[in-house]
């Protein structure tokens, strides 16, 4: 079996799973796919195309590897419902067994939130556009940030800042709150796709400044307008979101002209400390935007200072980011990769 592992070493786990799926009947493969999340289905589907030209020897290796792994696991849980049903029928007879199974078999719930993952952004926006902003915020916090941003952009411009504010101030959501959300959306979701309803998830951490920042970062436009509106509602919260939206390493996205303008506005003492915690690529780019003499002076001072506390470095980097934001507000530089700044 060690040979099988070696032969499949150049295949990813997803590719091995894709090979196994393609060896199944369509019905068997469909049954497995129905239990996966949308992103898992997509990754598996993509992997199927990459292994369509695989050799017979590799197929046998994948099968051998799977068999060896399967033997190492207990089979107690495999096809448990079928096994239990067979025991009940043998003990009670078919009719009585059916009655007992109806009472004891757990209901496999598909939650409303699970169903939303399969919907397009326009449909989700339609479902929540007339709901309270807190409901909309909770729904968006449960979605992938890219999808959430798409949904947000399709809602009324006036609602967007309030929803982002509520996402940023969300914390742990109770089971009761999730169940209430399920009840509110269940009737509407059933119009576009059937679901058994019911929540099988416990309380979970949703939202926060980082989640709000990811959603705003994925908007195609309008983030500047939105963040200004959030700032009017709560300036410190808006700054917390901005801190998550634009971090020190993002300075590497600036072109040389903008980076040079920023560097000229930063005191050398601050820059020396900030660069101590920078990624090597960013550090090289920043030094490359300076004169040879200035870059050597910065490097010498960094060496002389030796190790520094992480808190010192983080504070210096925040000061650099604050300067960058002020320059962006004044139109001296542009931040971000979409041709628009964040503030």
In a domain, 225, yes or no: no
The total number of structural domains that make up the chain: 4
Spell out the alpha helix ranges (H) of 108-174: 112-116, 121-128, 133-142, 145-153, 160-168
Domain of 212 in residue numbering reads as 112-217
Is residue 8 located within the same domain as residue 95?
A: no
In a domain, 198, yes or no: yes
- Going from the C-alpha of 123 to that of each of 97, 146, 196, 197, the distances in angstroms are 43, 15, 19, 18
In this predicted structure, what is the pLDDT of residue 91?
64
Per-residue pLDDT of the chain (343 residues; tens, 9 = 90+): 434 334 445 678 888 888 888 888 888 778 787 777 777 888 888 888 888 777 888 887 877 777 766 655 554 444 556 666 776 676 667 766 776 666 666 554 456 666 777 788 898 898 888 888 888 998 898 888 989 999 999 999 999 999 999 999 987 666 666 776 777 676 555 554 444 444 444 445 567 888 898 899 888 878 888 999 999 999 999 988 988 887 788 888 899 999 999 999 999 999 999 998 888 999 999 999 999 999 999 999 988 888 888 888 988 988 998 899 889 878 888 875 444 443 4
In a domain, 231, yes or no: no
In this predicted structure, what is the pLDDT of residue 188?
58
What is the domain-level CATH number for residue 296? 1.10.220.30
In this predicted structure, what is the pLDDT of residue 155?
94
* Token couple for 53: 């030209």
How many Å apart are CA 172 and CA 85, to the nearest integer?
40
Please check whether residue 308 is in contact with residue 276, taking contact to mean a CB–CB distance below 8 angstroms. yes
How many Å apart are CA 141 and CA 138, to the nearest integer?
5
In a domain, 118, yes or no: yes
In a domain, 235, yes or no: no
- Going from the C-alpha of 26 to that of each of 22, 30, 32, 132, the distances in angstroms are 8, 6, 10, 43
Is residue 254 located within the same domain as residue 322?
A: yes
Around Cβ 62, how many Cβ atoms within 10 Å? 23
This prediction's pTM: 0.51
């Amino acid at each position: 079996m060690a040979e099988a592992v070696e032969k499949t070493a150049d295949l990813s786990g997803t590719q091995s799973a894709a090979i196994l799926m393609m060896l199944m009947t369509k019905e068997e493969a469909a049954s497995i796919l129905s239990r996966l999340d949308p992103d898992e289905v997509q990754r598996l589907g993509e992997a199927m195309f990459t292994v369509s030209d695989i050799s017979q020897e590799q197929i046998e290796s994948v099968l051998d590897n799977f068999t060896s792994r399967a033997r190492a696991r207990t089979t107690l849980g495999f096809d448990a419902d079928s096994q239990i049903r067979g025991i009940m029928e043998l003990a009670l007879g078919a009719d009585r067994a059916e009655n007992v199974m109806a009472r004891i078999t757990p209901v496999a719930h598909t939650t409303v939130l699970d169903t939303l993952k399969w919907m397009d952004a326009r449909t989700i926006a339609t479902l929540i556009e007339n709901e309270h902003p807190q409901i909309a915020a909770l729904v968006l916090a449960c979605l992938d940030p890219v999808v959430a941003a798409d949904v947000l952009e399709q809602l009324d411009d006036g609602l967007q800042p309030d929803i982002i504010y509520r996402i940023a101030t969300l914390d742990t959501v109770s089971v009761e709150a999730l169940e209430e959300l399920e009840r509110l959306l269940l009737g509407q979701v059933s119009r576009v796709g059937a679901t058994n309803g019911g929540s099988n998830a416990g309380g979970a951490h949703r939202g926060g400044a980082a989640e709000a920042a990811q959603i705003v970062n994925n908007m195609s436009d309008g983030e500047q307008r939105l963040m200004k509106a959030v700032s009017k509602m709560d300036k410190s919260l808006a700054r917390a979101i901005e801190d998550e939206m634009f971090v020190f390493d993002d300075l590497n996205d600036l072109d040389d002209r903008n980076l040079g303008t920023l560097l000229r506005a930063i005191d050398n003492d601050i820059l020396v400390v900030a660069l101590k915690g920078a990624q090597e690529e960013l550090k090289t780019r920043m030094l490359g935007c300076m004169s040879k003499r200035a870059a050597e002076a910065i490097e010498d001072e960094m060496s002389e200072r030796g190790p520094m506390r992480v808190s010192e470095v983080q504070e210096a980097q925040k000061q650099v980011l604050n300067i960058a934001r002020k320059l962006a507000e004044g139109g001296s530089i542009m931040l971000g990769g979409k041709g628009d700044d964040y503030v």
